């Protein structure tokens, strides 16, 4: 199965196909019900994951709860399995729901705030950026983390399958490192393999690396120099609501800007070991 080949119908055609799709709940209705349904990614440390007691925790979970609290509501948070791309996730969680039933959520956390992406996903309104994400390399203490990447040849490298770090390490530099890459199912797992001595180098998102440094910094160090020819300038992370909930979207934009100003976002990020990075799209 290939990536993003199943982009489903968008726009008017989708409406024609799913005439019964429910309208988003108005702000009045949210207030009357007293509940804000929040969707977060499953197994997505440090943003949303389950601790040893199965409790759903993480940065996105806490920001969602903060939004609900500010609206005078209780957050009802669901962690969902990622589909082939974020456009599919928006369809499943925000504007249509799954074909197999289940309700849509009022807001989805951790949606890229990117103009091209928003144009291609016009059934959702995307905004309220709260972080700018990028990639970072972490190494075991006995590994020189600052060498040009081709010199990692023969070292054990770890990356999340199919991610930009995977493409960078497996496909970059003429593929010289391809046989040295161990593929795991998440960025967190890639860093864990360095922590556990199973790998020398991991490439993951900045938030994943910094969060891992919070507990276990004695076994990791971070590459300070740039990663040459990394095919990603970084991206902004925000929230999404259904296209007919623009009033809620506007409210969220203002609210999240307020949280960034008054330090509440910074505090949540810091709690999980992540350094605040202001989004570019504000």
Site for another protein in 122-151 (CB under 8 A): 133
CB of 164 to another protein, least distance (A): 5
Say whether residue 163 binds another protein (CB under 8 A). Answer: yes
| In the block, residue with structure tokens 């795991």 | 184
Say whether residue 116 binds another protein (CB under 8 A). Answer: yes
Quick one: which of 167, 266, 270, 276 contacts another protein (CB under 8 A)? 167
CB of 3 to another protein, least distance (A): 5
> Hey, what are 188's tokens?
């967190």
How far is it, in rounded angstroms, from Cα 48 to Cα 57? 6
Judged by beta carbon, residue 10 or residue 216, the one nearer another protein is 10
How far is it, in rounded angstroms, from Cα 43 to Cα 60? 12
Say whether residue 155 binds another protein (CB under 8 A). Answer: no
Judged by beta carbon, residue 18 or residue 247, the one nearer another protein is 18
CB of 218 to another protein, least distance (A): 27
> 190-214 burial by CB neighbour count: b if 16+ within 10 A, else e?
bbbbbbeeebbbbbbbbbbbbbbbe
Say whether residue 199 binds another protein (CB under 8 A). Answer: no
Say whether residue 224 binds another protein (CB under 8 A). Answer: no
Say whether residue 217 binds another protein (CB under 8 A). Answer: no
> Hey, what are 233's tokens?
């300038």
| CA proximity to 66, closest of 52, 79, 55, 77 | 77
Distance separating the N- and C-terminal Cα atoms of the chain:
36
């Amino acid at each position: 199965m290939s990536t993003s080949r199943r982009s489903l119908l968008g726009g008017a055609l989708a409406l024609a196909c799913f005439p019964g799709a429910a309208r988003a709940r108005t702000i009045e209705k949210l207030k009357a019900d007293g509940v804000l349904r929040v969707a977060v990614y499953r197994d997505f440390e440090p943003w949303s994951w389950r601790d040893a007691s199965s409790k759903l925790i993480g940065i996105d979970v806490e920001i969602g709860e903060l939004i609900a609290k500010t609206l005078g509501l209780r957050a009802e948070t669901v962690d969902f399995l990622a589909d082939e791309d974020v456009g599919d996730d928006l369809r499943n969680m925000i504007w249509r729901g799954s074909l197999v039933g289940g309700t849509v959520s009022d807001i989805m956390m951790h949606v890229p705030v990117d103009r091209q992406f928003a144009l291609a996903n016009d059934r959702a309104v995307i905004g309220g950026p709260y972080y700018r994400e990028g990639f970072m390399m972490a190494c075991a203490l006995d590994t020189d983390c600052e060498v040009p990447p081709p010199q990692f040849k023969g070292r054990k490298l770890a990356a999340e399958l199919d991610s930009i770090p995977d493409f960078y390490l497996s496909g970059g530099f003429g593929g010289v490192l391809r046989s040295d890459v161990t593929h795991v199912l998440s960025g967190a797992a890639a860093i864990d393999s360095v922590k556990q001595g199973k790998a020398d180098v991991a490439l993951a998102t900045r938030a994943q690396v910094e969060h891992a440094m919070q507990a276990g910094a004695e076994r990791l160090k971070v590459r300070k120099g740039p990663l040459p020819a990394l095919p990603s300038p970084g991206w902004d992370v925000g929230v999404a609501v259904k296209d007919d909930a623009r009033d809620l979207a506007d409210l969220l934009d203002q609210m999240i800007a307020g949280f960034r100003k008054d330090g509440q976002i910074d505090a949540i990020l810091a709690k999980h070991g992540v350094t605040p990075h202001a989004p570019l799209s504000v």
